[in-house]
Homo-oligomer: A and B are copies of this chain.
Amino acid sequence: MITSTAPFELSETRQAEMHELYRHLHTHPELSMQETNTAAFIQRRLQALGLETFMCGGTGVVGILRNGAGPVVGYRADTDGLPMKEDTGLDFASKATGTLADGTPVPVMHGCGHDTHMTVALTAAQLLSESLDVWSGTVIFIFQPGEETAAGAKAMIEDGLWDKAPKPEIIYGQHVWPGLSGTVNISSGTAMAMADSWKITVHGRQAHGSQPEQSIDPIVLGAHMVVRLQTVVSREVHPMKSAVVTVGTFHAGLKENIIPATAEFSVNVRTFDVDVRTRVLDSLRRILHAEADASGAPAPSIEEISSFPQCYNDPASADALIGEFQAALGEDCVNVVPPVMGSEDFGLLAEALGVPSVYWMFGAYTQERLDADTPLPGNHSPYFAPDVEPTLGTGLRAALTSLLSRVGRSEAAQ
């Protein structure tokens, strides 16, 4: 099996093409499950490379690269942007807009770096399709929509992904993160947190702003809910266990002199441990209901927005890949790390088949940048702008390393 990606070293031309591809994708983000143009663009590229493709789960795209006998391996890249206003100042910054489910128009940005994921996957597909002699087997490229809402992996599976595509023995995937460019972070076992999101509707009673006694004030009630929720993490979770309870949105009222009838907010919960998750979600429900009682209000409506499973790296597969990475990138460039609080629906793709999967992070910032700016903007920041190189090159190398660890021809490594 090859442990080098040497045959895939990028020419200057190929690198320029990859950078051009990245800038294009960065400029044109689309919201989760609305990645229509992105999907069409990807499908055209894959078809041009000679891959079989099919659409799946709405705006998902699958590209199959067959190259004779051998293992079947999956590689997943996610494709959606975020409802946020880009503030990077890049000359190729996004000016795109989209529309939320409730009709609100919003700016859109690749604020989570999925543009780098697509760039790497498309370039890997290109290189593999150009070097068929050094590997054999089948690679399935899964361009998954709606990662940010935990909707995409589920949608692809429900749309028959594994009825339509060959069954891989493992699925790989990776995410850009605000660490040292040129390095990867990888965990064995649990890699990322569970995430549960709820939409809460607080039911009050509307009144003129000068008549609070006629109202049940949903803003005052909602504010007390937000304040009270802080005690779940501060007092109910074991201090050596991890949990996050974030209220990411709060919306109520149209005019300062009308006490509105309702308030809406959303809660996002991160946990690693099933018991902690259960306690936190139970406490959330208990607090939300009790605070409504304290206001003499009806019970709040609680609606699930999404529920991300834990992202779990099969230990044997992860340990093997760590060795491959050390050989390909250098030992100094591979960090074996504890899990992170972020979440992913990546794991569902392999779980649906009962096969293992491995997910890792690749760094976004050069040492110069890390030294200069502190703290550097992370994912979901309006300033998130990875240094293009060695970020993309490392992502590409890591992707190829993972795939070739399964489908590489050992003689090629000689």
Interface residue A206 (Cβ < 8 Å from any Cβ of B): yes
Partner pick for A83 among B104, B226, B255, CB 8 A cutoff: B255
In the complex, A380 has a CB within 8 A of chain B: yes
Is A354 located at the chain interface by the 8 A CB criterion?
no
Q: Give the Cβ gap from A125 to chain B, nearest Cβ, in Å.
A: 29
Q: Could you show 30 A-B contacts with beta carbons less than 8 Å apart? A: A82-B254, A83-B254, A104-B104, A104-B254, A111-B258, A199-B256, A208-B378, A209-B380, A211-B378, A213-B239, A215-B235, A219-B226, A220-B226, A220-B231, A220-B247, A223-B223, A224-B227, A224-B228, A228-B294, A230-B235, A234-B234, A239-B242, A246-B257, A249-B254, A249-B255, A250-B250, A250-B263, A255-B266, A256-B268, A294-B294
What are the residues of chain B within 8 A of A70 when measuring CB–CB?
none
A233 contacts B by Cβ under 8 Å: yes
Are A253 and B248 interface neighbours, CB within 8 A?
A: yes
Residue A21 CB within 8 A of the other chain: no
Q: Is A379 in contact with chain B by the CB < 8 A criterion? A: yes
List of B residues within 8 angstroms of A245 by Cβ: 234
State whether the Cβ of A281 lies closer than 8 Å to any Cβ in chain B. no
Stretch at the interface among A1-9, A37-45, A50-58, A285-293: A285-293
A261 to B384, CA, bound (A): 14
Q: Which parts of A274-310 form the interface with B (CB within 8 Å)?
A: 283, 286-287, 289-291, 293-296, 305
In the complex, the answer to whether A233 meets B234 with C-beta atoms within 8 Å is: yes
Chain A 182-218 against B: per-residue CB contact (8 Å), 1 yes, 0 no? 0000000000010101110000001111111111010
Contact B259 A246 (CB under 8 A): yes
Contacts of A320 in B (CB 8 A): none
A244 within 8 A of B: yes
- Bound complex: CA of A244 vs CA of B251, how far in Å? 22
List residues of chain B with CB within 8 A of the CB of A293: 286, 289-290, 293
With contacts A250-B252, A258-B380 taken as known, whether A235 is within 8 angstroms of B220 at the C-beta atoms is: yes
Closest to A192 in B: B210
Minimum CB–CB distance from A97 to chain B (whole Å) comes to 11
Find A257's partner among B248, B253, B259, B295 (CB 8 Å cutoff): B248
> Is A240's CB under 8 angstroms from B286's CB?
no
Interface size on A, residues (CB 8 A): 93
Summarize A's interface: helix, strand, loop or mixed.
mixed
Q: How many copies does the complex hold?
A: 4
A211 and B111 CA atoms in complex are apart in Å by: 15
| CA gap between A111 and B290 in the complex, in Å | 32
CA distance A233 to B215 in the complex (A): 13
Cβ-defined contact, A266 with B270, below 8 A: no
Known: A213-B238, A291-B294. A248 touches B227 (CB 8 A): no
User: Across the interface, do A252 and B249 meet the contact criterion of CB distance under 8 Å?
Assistant: yes
CB atoms of A257 and B210 under 8 A apart: no
Whole-angstrom distance from the CB of A357 to the nearest CB of chain B?
Answer: 20
Q: Which residues of B contact A381 (CB under 8 A)?
A: 206-208
CB of A17 closer than 8 Å to a CB of B: no
Take A257-B197, A283-B296 as given contacts and tell me if A235 and B212 are in contact as well, using a CB distance cutoff of 8 Å.
yes
Which residues from 325 to 342 on chain A have a C-beta closer than 8 Å to any C-beta of chain B?
338, 340-342
Q: Which 5 A-B pairs have the closest CB atoms?
A: A249-B253, A290-B294, A256-B266, A223-B226, A210-B341
Residue pair A239, B243 in contact (C-beta under 8 Å): yes
Interface: A127 (CB within 8 A)? no
In whole Å, how far is A151's beta carbon from the nearest beta carbon of chain B?
13
Please determine whether B210 and A255 come into contact, CB atoms closer than 8 angstroms. Answer: no
| Any B CB within 8 A of the CB of A168 | no
> In the assembly, what is the distance between CA of A222 and CA of B234, in Å?
16
| Contact assessment for B290 and A84 in the assembled complex, using a CB-CB cutoff below 8 Å | no
Q: How far is the CA of A207 from the CA of B207 in the complex (A)?
A: 34
A267 interfacial by beta-carbon distance below 8 Å? yes
Q: Is there a chain B Cβ closer than 8 Å to A236's Cβ?
A: yes
Is the CB of A382 closer than 8 A to any CB of chain B? yes
